[in-house]
Amino acid sequence: MSPSTRVLAGILCAITAVACFATLDTTTKFVSAGVPVLMALWFRYAFQAVATTVVVLPRMGLRVLHTEHPRFQFLRGFLLFLTSLFAFFSLKYMPVGEFTAIVMITPLLITLLAITSLGEKVSPLRWALVAGGFTGTLIIIRPGSEAFDWVMLLPLGLVASNAWFQVLTSKLARTEAPLTMHFYTGWVGTLLASVALPFVWTPIDSWTLWGGLVLMGTTGSVGHFLLILAYARAPAATLTPYLYTQIGFAMLGGWLVFSHVPDQWSMLGMVLIAICGAAGAWLTVREGRSRILPAGS
């Protein structure tokens, strides 16, 4: 596979992954109206863990358990579980489109992590893009206005855990097998959710809810596996602009299922976040090229 074809495959994997995530979020909001959040979260991870095991174990055997970084595999699984926990509670109370837009400031937060954790220098333009993204978030949340509700702060917890999850995924994808990462992610999340399951279990007598739980498990499993494949085939900076298509998928899902259309202020915030995030990715690519090109080129 040529380098350009490999990058294109990574982009297609990323777009399909975020379409799966938007479907997962829309379904989660629907299911959470009739099923306790922690119970739905358990089904989402149990489905991924069992499905991955059934598919992977016959192909790889016990080799799927081999990892050079077991602690990081557990940490990655915990971060995704925490991210999902924030997501499920957020979606129970928030529209899908607005929720997704706030989550999309994650790449901008990764910029701040690079400064504080790695000591990287950041240009004034990148600082302006970070500020613009957080301004878009404030426009959506609108603290102090009648539209503000404290539950709108829940996605910010998700953003923090998701940023660390993305950083760790990008690093592990360089050395770890995608199926191994997917295997550990599913089982770590399942074990963590199982701790709370006895306290929240509720009988389900609706086939619609059962179908929603299966769809959640399917889209969550497929989406995260595709994201791992995307990071293994293309640089994170190349993929980031395409991840913002999730906002469009989420708005479409919210409109089709809940007949929700964001108001003009929320729409403005979404556009600002998408523009700043995509511009930040473009800036990363440009800076990378300038470091590679010799002087005078």
Report d(CA 257, CA 84) in Å as an integer. 21
* DSSP character string of the chain: --HHHHHHHHHHHHHHHHHHHHHHHHHHHHHTTTS-HHHHHHHHHHHHHHHHHHHHHHHHGGGGG--S-HHHHHHHHHHHHHHHHHHHHHHHHS-HHHHHHHHTTHHHHHHHHHHHHH-----HHHHHHHHHHHHHHHHHH-TTSTT--GGGGHHHHHHHHHHHHHHHHHHHTTTS-HHHHHHHHHHHHHHHHHHHHHHH------HHHHHHHHHHHHHHHHHHHHHHHHHHHS-HHHHHHHHTHHHHHHHHHHHHHH-----HHHHHHHHHHHHHHHHHHHHHHHHHHHHHSPTT-
Spell 76-100 as b/e; 16+ CB within 10 A means b. bbbbbbbbbbbbbbbbbebbbbbbb
CB contact at 8 A, 220 and 185: no
The confidence score (pLDDT) of residue 211 equals: 93
CB atoms within 10 A of CB 56: 18
Regions of the chain with pLDDT less than 70: 1, 107, 111-122, 143-149, 237, 281, 284-297
The model's pLDDT over 108-136, given as tens digits with 9 standing for 90+, comes to: 777 666 666 555 566 777 778 778 877 88
Report d(CA 22, CA 219) in Å as an integer. 9
